[in-house]
A and B are shown apart, each in its own frame.
Chain A
Amino acid sequence: MISATQHLENYLDRYSEFEKLAAGRNLPWLRKLREDAFARFCEVGFPTTHDEDWRFTNVSPISQMRFRLARNGSRNISPEQVNQWRKASTLQLVFVNGGFSPALSAISGLPDGVKVSSVRQEIERDPGAMEAHLGRYLNIRRDPFSALNSAFAEDGAYVKILKGTVLREAIYLLFISAPGDAPLMSSPRNLIVVEEEAEASFVEDYVSLGEGVGFSNAVTELVAGDNAVISHYMIEREHRNGFNVSTLRIQQGRSANVASHSVLLGGALVRNNVHPVLAGEGGECLINGLFVANGRQHHDNYMLVEHARPHCGSRQFYNGILDGNAHGVFHGRIIVHKDAQKTDAKQTNRNLLLSDDAQIDTKPQLEIYADDVKCTHGATIGQIEENALFYLRSRGIDEISARRLLLLAFANECLDRMQPEPVRAWVEGLIHEHLFHDASTPWQAKNDSREEGASNWGEIG
């Protein structure tokens, strides 16, 4: 208990430093938002595995670490260092340790109807617009990490797509974690507002520079106006020392159509929360995900899908590939509120375990308060199917290539749901690279010992 107290003290120290200098500290509403959030965080502290929402994820590696705060992008990064993640001829906003870096960003030639800025700039320039949305959707009482983010929120991406604007090109948000030698926490806070009948795609791409210990505690509030069509991507490919907790809170208007795609490849301990609220009639939400973990990686996918109005549809599809001692979690919670008649909610989680020590916890949780709804859920856990492997080999494809092909096939189920095209192809490239190069060693090494009793998919629930 002593250590827990000490660590909260560390956050107390960090917070008192922060509030003296934070952008917008003189805005009463923002001050209150931070104070309430920090008070909430101090009240509940970090979650433990006794907390139902955190049953399968022990966050003590995060809670026991003394992090420094990242302010003002604190590390100098040259454009050359960013080149490896640069997207040619696209809109790309770059954040270093959570702070916006205009010099590293590429935001020239913005189309009409698209406004791109940083939260920090807008707090100073147009606080009224920020006040209208920032913190309005996120529930800091549900999740201590959301409270922690709100307490330290001062910068991140701000994007606004004006009514009826159709943006063909995706907007890339690159978050570089560059912790240096001492552990460092960053709190990116993004606000994306897509007005009615507008169409746009966003990519949040989390990467690391150097091998220090970084903790990215990110929150994105995404507001989808009536009839808006949105694709959102979350790509986690930070260093194997990295901690990443992210929350995507989606507020959907009438007949809005939102697709959330999460691809978790990197990080040591990763928790990805996706929380859409279907707050207008006829909304559609696709929550699509792929997590690929090996070694000692921990990937936790938590979804809370709230159906608040009638005639909405939500579909969750998550595929996991786990090797080594990796631990994956799929927790899919669906709440159908009393008024949300004619809800159609579907949830599917499929997992491939490639080693004896890999582990997956998969948990559906349906709470239905309306009486005319359709909700289905299913989960499977299996190994690479020996019959399929043999089929490929019997056509001349060697065993290693055949295994890769089957992993790719499994990942393709998620890739096939992604649009629009240039982003999908880019994500496909990242996944291929990860499966065939970065992650290849562990499961290649054990190819000589044939898996026993494979090919059985266990049905759960």
Chain B
Amino acid sequence: MSLLEIRNLHVKVDNHQILKGIDLTVHAGQVHSIMGPNGSGKSTLAQVLSRRESYDVIAGEVLYDGKDLLAMKAEDAACEGVFMAFQYPVEIPGISNAYFLRSALNATRKYRGEDELDAMDFLPMFREKLKLLEMDEKLTNRSVNEGFSGGEKKRNEILQMAVLQPKLAILDETDSGLDIDALKIVAKGVNSLRSRERAIIVVTHYQRLLNYIVPDFVHVLVNGRIVRSGGPELALELEEKGYATVEAEAKQPISV
């Protein structure tokens, strides 16, 4: 059985139709990349999968592990193993990174009927993950994302992913705005989380990240539809020719 099955997904935002029939099948162990120009619907797709409620699904369905993902609340989807690395992580002054992540981890553990971790159990594991992402231990007690640089915020997202160990991770433009060193660290973190049980969807505008996180499949999203799918070589082709070619190929009248 596939881990994620998106069928004919149509989504509206503020009365604009953004996704116009997405079909995508993702199996555990795979890394898929979704690429596309600005405004193609990449982020909308990612946000819908993370269960943000400001999007109207007007047709189609999404099955996650055989369950109706679109019927789940965000927190339930998270507890079921769906993780979203946000493009713009939110700053939460007043809650320390460690307290936040322990609360999150314990919420998911409780959902699964596992024992909650106390600080003594949590901190060694947390420190190990900090090391993996080459993050300063000082971040343990700093407020969530507050005053973090862009790169630190993105690394913090992957840190959360490393702690929460999701089954399906969606990275929404995690590479945007990163310098090459930060990009390599993020990629190293993500690669360390690749496993046979886990699927990763990498949403990106640029091919650069895919040099470091090599996907099994690449899909090109244009105007709310996947217009081409292929292997990692498709990303290279896009890098060479730009999105103009695929956009031109995809151009056809669309009834809204």
Residues of A within 8 A of B (CB): 385, 387-388, 390-399, 401-402, 405-406, 408-413, 416, 450
Minimal Cβ-Cβ distance residue in B for A394: B74
State the majority secondary structure of interface residues on A: helix
Task: Please name the 4 residue pairs, one residue from A and one from B, whose CB atoms are nearest each other, closest first.
Answer: A409-B94, A396-B78, A395-B104, A412-B94
Q: From known contacts A401-B103, A401-B107, infer whether A396 and B75 are also in contact, taking CB-CB under 8 Å.
A: yes
Chain A proximity of B109: nearest CB distance (Å): 9
With most chain A CB atoms within 10 A of its CB, the pick from B74, B77, B79, B86 is B74
Name the one of A393, A396, A408 contacting B95, with C-beta atoms under 8 angstroms: A408
Please indicate which of the listed interface residues B94, B101, B143, B160 has the most CB atoms of chain A within 10 Å of its own CB: B94
Closest chain-B Cβ to A353's Cβ sits at a distance in Å of 17
Considering the complex, give the chain A residue whose CB is closest to the CB of B74.
A393
**In the complex, A388 Cα to B95 Cα: how many Å?**
11
8 Å CB contacts to A: which residues of B157-204? Answer: 160, 164
B68-87 vs A, CB cutoff 8 Å, 1 = contact: the mask equals 00000111011100001010
Please tell me if the beta carbons of A396 and B104 are within 8 angstroms of each other in the complex: yes
Q: Interface size bucket, B side? A: 20 to 34
Cα distance, A410 to B111, chains bound together (Å):
27
Enumerate chain A residues within 8 angstroms of B75, measured Cβ to Cβ. 393-394, 396-399, 402
Contacts of B108 in A (CB 8 A): 396
CA distance A391 to B92 in the complex (A): 9
Q: Which residues on the A side are within 8 Å of B256 (C-beta)?
A: none
A sample of 27 inter-chain contacts (CB < 8 A) reads A388-B90, A388-B92, A390-B74, A390-B90, A391-B89, A391-B92, A392-B100, A394-B50, A394-B51, A394-B52, A394-B74, A394-B77, A395-B160, A396-B79, A396-B104, A396-B105, A396-B107, A397-B103, A397-B107, A399-B73, A401-B107, A402-B75, A405-B103, A409-B92, A409-B94, A411-B94, A413-B94
A415 to chain B: closest residue by CB: B94
The answer to the question of B93 belonging to the interface, with a C-beta cut-off of 8 Å to chain A, is: yes
Partner of B78, one of A393, A406, A408, A416: A393
14 new A-B contacts, CB < 8 A, other than A390-B74, A395-B107, are: A393-B73, A394-B74, A396-B104, A397-B107, A399-B73, A399-B75, A405-B95, A405-B103, A408-B95, A409-B93, A410-B94, A412-B94, A413-B93, A413-B94
CB-based nearest B residue for A411: B94
Query: Known contacts A391-B86, A391-B89, A401-B103; is A396 also within 8 Å of B94 by CB?
Result: no
**Other-chain contact of A409, B53, B95, B104, B107 (Cβ < 8 Å):** B95
Q: In the bound complex, what is the Cα–Cα distance between A405 and B92 (angstroms)?
A: 10
Query: Smallest Cβ distance from B167 to chain A, in angstroms?
Result: 13
User: Do A398 and B107 contact each other (CB < 8 Å), given the known contacts A387-B90, A391-B86?
Assistant: yes
Chain B residue with minimal CB distance to A409?
Answer: B94
A402 to B103, CA, bound (A): 10
Closest residue on chain B to residue A386 by CB atoms = B54
Shortest distance from the beta carbon of A456 to any chain B beta carbon, whole Å: 14
CB neighbours (8 Å) of A416 from chain B are 94
Contact partners of B143 in chain A: CB under 8 A: 409
A408: which B residues are within 8 A, CB to CB? 94-95
Q: How far is the CA of A406 from the CA of B75 in the complex (A)?
A: 16
Most central of B51, B75, B111, B160 by chain A CB within 10 Å? B75
Please name all residues of chain B whose beta carbon is closer than 8 Å to the beta carbon of A387 when the two chains form the complex. Answer: 90
**A393 — which chain B residues lie within 8 A by C-beta?**
73-75, 78
What distance in Å separates the Cβ of B94 from its nearest Cβ neighbour in chain A?
3
Q: Given the complex, which residues of B lie within 8 Å of A395, measured CB to CB?
A: 78, 100-101, 104, 107, 160, 164
